[in-house]
Structure 1
């Protein structure tokens, strides 16, 4: 029989597999597998065929990786390797995505899907004059957990053992101890604060990300964009709160000098956070594609012109559509073509500064952890 820890560690790769399998349904109909498609070709036979092939591939091979993880948990319940299963599922889903994208691109170019269409860039200036407000009520839990952790650490500090475990080996036994001090005792709190600060910065940038508007339905797509950025940024902050709770659970074991580490209380809130992200993504869709709005299709409220389409910008998405590089686009973050959330514009010089800052951030976290 599997332990509670093993159950949680099977759930995490299962959530990743579920998200990968659902991904084609979360992206908009004009971006199948990251390929910009005119609305008239959104139901092309090749797209439906590649969706089926992708789901069979991810469900079959990814499911086998999950089954192997389950067997490992049953045979070796004390040493589950969920990271291996999660990595395998990520590789499988990426491979399936690249295969489907290549097949759709071949048909798109061969049949000249954009021939005779009018490619138009739509801009909503109100996104700058009346920007989306930061969803502080979503961010509050992520901010409150580090505060609670700091108070709890201060209360527990006098009774903490003289030597605190600072690192645990893969078998869950402490292999490095350090003298009790403000630095060692409050290290988890410092990491929580750093992580929360990073998430606040990223979500702030995401709320200012460029809206990919449909020129035939600018009002509708602008309304969807606003709701998408709030919900998705909010889900990221809620996940951050769950990660902070997991770190608090790990810190509690450290503060009591536990030489044997139990991952269940750490993984349980993180798993719950992942499930929340999946649920919000299912309701919202990438870019708000699954949201219904009451906005008119255009300023006059009339029907959309089928000849007016968003520009074919596939050339800016490199390495199979996984990286966005456009030096003419001032945006730092843009919505992913396949997936939930945002990615960097690697053609923006500020991207380098952000990556350097992230590297410094990770280095500081490692120093705090040691």
Structure 2
């Protein structure tokens, strides 16, 4: 049994299924599978029913696909990436069915009929945003510096042709002429990734908050704590990803020694576990954080969050609102932010994230 195949066909699908199973617990009570619902309907039977069905479907399909992946690994059936893709497809199907059922109940029963809808924001986030947690960026910076030092020391002894790609067993199968661009590509990737995550973290701390008009002070405090925790998790993820790139660089600079793909990927997988753990403890927008003194006694304004489902498309994953100047908005399912496709700068940001690696990598490795 090949360890790389086992990672691709068993471990990754198991992680994907586990994260998908947890997703409904990460959003607040007024969001059910990406559907905006008023607080008085948060305990509607259809929501609990669909949550249970979703989790059963995810668990069942995940278990079946893990068994299939295990068999593929045993017989060494070459289908790299197929089982993870099937896992994602199964989870999305379960999510779509739950979302459709809740949306139908919401329309049929008129959940927003006669309710006062409102929007509230924390203007202090613009004038007095949370401080950037620079201390948590130090580990990623140290990993970049350490990789650079190792590369400088190793460069004179590198062969004329250095490996630029490894197969599933960890053996180099593609080489390029030694140059600063090819030999130090992992370092450039580290720096680029770290700068990118720093920029996204800075933007996330200034993203528009999704506050509860019923208890604005409570939700504003929760959101601030949420934004800081998510910023810390992103910076930690940058450090773990840089460690994976360091492991890849070590394999490149010591091509005569086989490095297991599992060891290369282990740091970034550990980073994802840390991010998920922080997300589970925090919840989207701070929905799972414990209340501070005085928050539980805040008097409700009697308003509910605005029904904005019409701006969310493709199963509630894509936000398009040209009247909203926000660049980033909170996701409807899971934890984190997504781009406002109604803002041209949001589209530019997304294109930059996608195209920059595509254009830069060939220049460095040719």
Shift of 1:260: 5.2
Deviates more, 1:168-177 or 1:347-356: 168-177
Q: Deviations over 1:319-346 (max 9, x none)?
A: 2211001111111111100022111000
Does the 8 Å contact 2:248/2:264 carry over to 1? yes
Q: CA deviation at 1:12?
A: 3.0
Instruction: Report 1:102-181 matches (<5 A).
Output: 102-170=100-168, 172-181=170-179
Cα deviation code 1:139-178 (max 9, x no counterpart): 2222221111101101111222222111234554323222
Aligned residues of 1:161 and 1:257 also touching (Cα < 8 A): no
Once the two structures are superposed, residues 199-238 of structure 1 have per-residue CA deviations (whole angstroms, 9 ceiling, x without a partner) of 1111111111111110111111111111111112221221
* Pairing 1:317–2:315 present: no
**Is 1:335 equivalent to 2:333 in the alignment?**
no
Tell me what 2:15 maps to: 15
Q: Is the contact made by 1:163 and 1:257 (CA closer than 8 Å) also made in structure 2?
A: no
Q: What pairs with 1:1-370 in structure 2 (closer than 5 Å)? A: 5=4, 8-9=7-8, 10-76=10-76, 81=80, 83-170=81-168, 172-258=170-256, 262-294=260-292, 296-297=294-295, 302-305=298-301, 307-367=302-362, 368-370=364-366
8 Å Cα contact 1:165/1:258 also seen in 2: no
Query: In 1, distance between residues paired with 2:185 and 2:150?
Result: 13
Unaligned stretches of 5+ residues in structure 2: none
Question: Cα–Cα, structure 1 residues 119 and 354, in superposed 2: closer, same or farther, change >3 Å?
Answer: same
Cα pair 1:27 1:286 within 8 Å, conserved: yes
Secondary structure in 2 matching 1:208: coil
| Aligned 8 A contact 2:24 2:33 in 1 | yes
SS of the residue corresponding to residue 137 of structure 1 reads helix
Deviations 1:13-61 (A, max 9, x none): 3222111001111111110101111111001011011101101111111
Q: Secondary structure at the match of 1:166?
A: strand
TM-score (norm. length: structure 2): 0.93
Shift of 1:85: 2.6
Displacement of 1:369: 4.2
Alignment: residue pair count: 364
Whole-angstrom CA distance in 1 between matches of 2:160 and 2:272: 36
Q: Does the CA contact (< 8 Å) of 2:143 and 2:239 recur in 1?
A: yes
Q: Say if 1:220 and 1:53 are closer, same or farther in 2 by CA, change over 3 A.
A: same
